[in-house]
Amino acid sequence: MSKTDKKLDLRKFKFPKVDDVNMVFSTFNTIPELLDEATNRGFLNGNTPYNKIFSTLFFEGGVVKFKDNIDESWGNPMWAYYRALATSHEPKHEHKEAVCAMILSELIVPKLQKKS
């Protein structure tokens, strides 16, 4: 998909089911279609607010605030995949960051709150 092609609608994307084992011992890899989309949107090796938020969450932790218009039917599977992918040892870190930053851009307000 080139940058001129239509963007992938993550709200309609069929994210894999994440169970308790996947959440604790994740071996998820980046889905090629999601990595392509993240690359096209500028998240691979990007310097976006969402790349920075991902890095802070990954290395230091923090609290996110979800956007008001999140529907549970698509938001919950997307967030579950984010959480499993973020902790997975399978993908290259830059691929994980790109896909996770793209997911964050769909779900959260771009300001991270510090953990109390």
- Output the tens digit of pLDDT for each of the chain's 116 residues: 445 466 899 999 999 999 887 777 888 889 999 999 999 999 999 899 999 999 999 999 999 999 999 999 999 999 999 999 999 988 999 999 999 999 999 999 988 776 66
What is the reported pTM? Answer: 0.88
Q: How far apart are CA 115 and CA 62, in angstroms?
A: 5
Q: How far apart are CA 58 and CA 86, in angstroms?
A: 7
Chain centroid to CA 2: 20
Domain-by-domain residue ranges, the chain?
20-107
Q: How far apart are CA 116 and CA 113, in angstroms?
A: 9
